[in-house]
Structure 1
């Protein structure tokens, strides 16, 4: 952890409202990460809502799919037919989901102090952070790793004939010869993200 990251973490920790989550501010253990992926009703965190989130531990070179989380949330506004086509979550799927507080009570201890790995994780975190702040008084303190950055470094920013390929998780997995699982499913996307990360890190 850099000096600036330490200062940021200390600032967040002073504002923590839930002492049971104090461990999130400890320095991360070497070779431990958590891959996350979210499904939302849209891409605007100010207008749209979180629908589901998956999180999977990466321990060394092992993706611990057996102990992963896949949490369906109950949003304040039900999904519309226009967005159901994208994420596949219908009102009947989410109306009995977890409240955001119930979801965070499971998710945050699972994330712990692990660096967060994601595909465009800044978008996921833009939806999570307002909920996290309301729940525990502070934003997520974890370092964040975007596999797009790792892939661009790996490929030397060459598109290899695929326009803007780093903007699609499936395109990255195809170039890395990884299995292409069903897209727009949070759990499958988290697994694909974890696999790509282990090859690129």
Structure 2
């Protein structure tokens, strides 16, 4: 079965390596040399796609492939999403690309702060001994982060209105907003059906698609 697996096309391999700067995509590693790894295993997807490929050093690749290892698929998708497309040097003389990328960076930053705050809110509400006062304090912080994320999302959609990325960003935002509302309206402690939701897993594929759409739109 393994002998029938085709090689990653050279142009696709090059894109994945450039995305990671020809170093391991895990920021605390950044070692060389690197290999091209599938986030969702080849045996399951049977295809090579940019959104599902990531550059890893042999050690991190082996750790990721270990089913009992510390690096799981959700973490690897986050590492993929964290690869920063803001290669400003490549955008010299192309102000429209700089504007697109600046809006994307702002969206990523504000959205990340919001979802981190909401995850903290969810973690606190899972605990039976959490005080209502502490939970409310975290909820208010999340509301502030939501306001910033909403503004960044609207700005992103305005700047990217002629691209597919606009709709993707909106879909991700509203999916998390739905979860956020459900979280805020739930009693303390959280019901199991809500506590078991993995919002990062739920948005991981769409986030990868958004990242790919941005990279393709600006020619990276």
After TM superposition, the score normalised by the length of structure 2 is 0.25
**Higher relative CO (CA 8 A, sep ≥ 6), structure 1 or 2?**
1
More strand by share: 1
More helix by share: 2
